[in-house]
């Protein structure tokens, strides 16, 4: 019985060490972040570096302002890249997609300030060519980009819309009209598509090896 007990304790301590959850003091956290940054690799393919897969929330904002140590506690950071503005971690999800979390220094700690989440196929502007104004529904757009931001009319008092960021540096905003299917059901149908190339798109920071 004692052997089992000590085995459990040992396993728990080992897990904490491996996943970086020993963040009980600023000193420990700073040291942990230094260790994580030593894993930086800008040349090796992310599929070789990131060996683990995780179930990831579709809303990357769940990780906003999390520190590098916090993220390493949720996901073992195996692939981390250095950019001109800081760092980003590439995390593989269990559906074949990738979550990119971007970090910059804030009050002495590296914190998430932006993210990209792509399904198994990277999202390009050309993927939206299949949308037909007046015909394509919001549900069909979700198939193109399941990780876009979708906002209903009731939430903001304007027409429903969705926002999407592509790997080739485009921001795509899709607006929808509300159409009655029958007395009880409505559906959102694409009414307009707007595109722009923002100067601060996080995809501009992705290294060529990740595109």
pLDDT of residue 188: 93
What's the pTM value of the predicted model, to 2 decimals? 0.79
User: pLDDT for 34-82, tens place per residue?
Assistant: 999 999 999 999 999 999 999 887 666 678 889 999 999 999 999 999 9
CA 156 to chain CA centroid, Å, is 24
pLDDT given at position 121: 78
Q: 């904002």: which residue's tokens?
A: 61
Residue 36: count of CB within 10 angstroms of its CB: 21
- Report which of 69, 67, 91, 87 is spatially closest to residue 79, judged by C-alpha positions: 91
- pLDDT at position 128 over 90: yes
Per-residue pLDDT for 14 more than 80? no
pLDDT one-digit tens code per residue, 141-187: 999 999 898 998 655 567 899 999 999 999 999 999 988 877 777 88
Q: Give the separation between CA 121 and CA 123, rounded to whole angstroms.
A: 6
**Residue reference for tokens 């007046």:** 134
Q: Where are the domains of the chain?
A: 2-120, 125-202
pLDDT at 150: 92
């Amino acid at each position: 019985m004692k052997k089992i007990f000590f085995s459990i304790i040992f396993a728990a301590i080992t897990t904490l060490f491996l996943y970086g959850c020993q963040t009980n003091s600023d000193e420990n956290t700073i040291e942990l972040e230094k260790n994580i940054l030593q894993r930086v690799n800008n040349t090796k393919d992310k599929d070789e570096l990131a060996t683990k897969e995780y179930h990831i929330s579709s809303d990357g904002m769940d990780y906003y302002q999390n520190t590098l140590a916090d993220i390493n506690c949720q996901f073992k950071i195996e692939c981390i890249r250095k950019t001109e503005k800081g760092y980003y971690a590439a995390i593989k999800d269990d559906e074949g997609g990738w979550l990119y979390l971007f970090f910059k220094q804030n009050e002495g700690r590296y914190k998430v300030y932006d993210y990209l989440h792509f399904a198994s196929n990277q999202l390009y502007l050309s993927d939206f060519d299949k949308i037909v104004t007046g015909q394509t529904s919001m549900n069909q757009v979700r198939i193109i980009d399941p990780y876009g931001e979708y906002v209903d009319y009731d939430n903001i008092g304007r027409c429903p819309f969705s926002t999407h960021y592509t790997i080739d540096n485009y921001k795509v905003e899709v607006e929808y009209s509300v159409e009655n299917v029958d007395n009880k059901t409505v559906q959102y149908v694409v009414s307009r598509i707007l595109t722009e190339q923002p100067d601060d798109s996080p995809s501009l920071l992705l290294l060529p090896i990740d595109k």
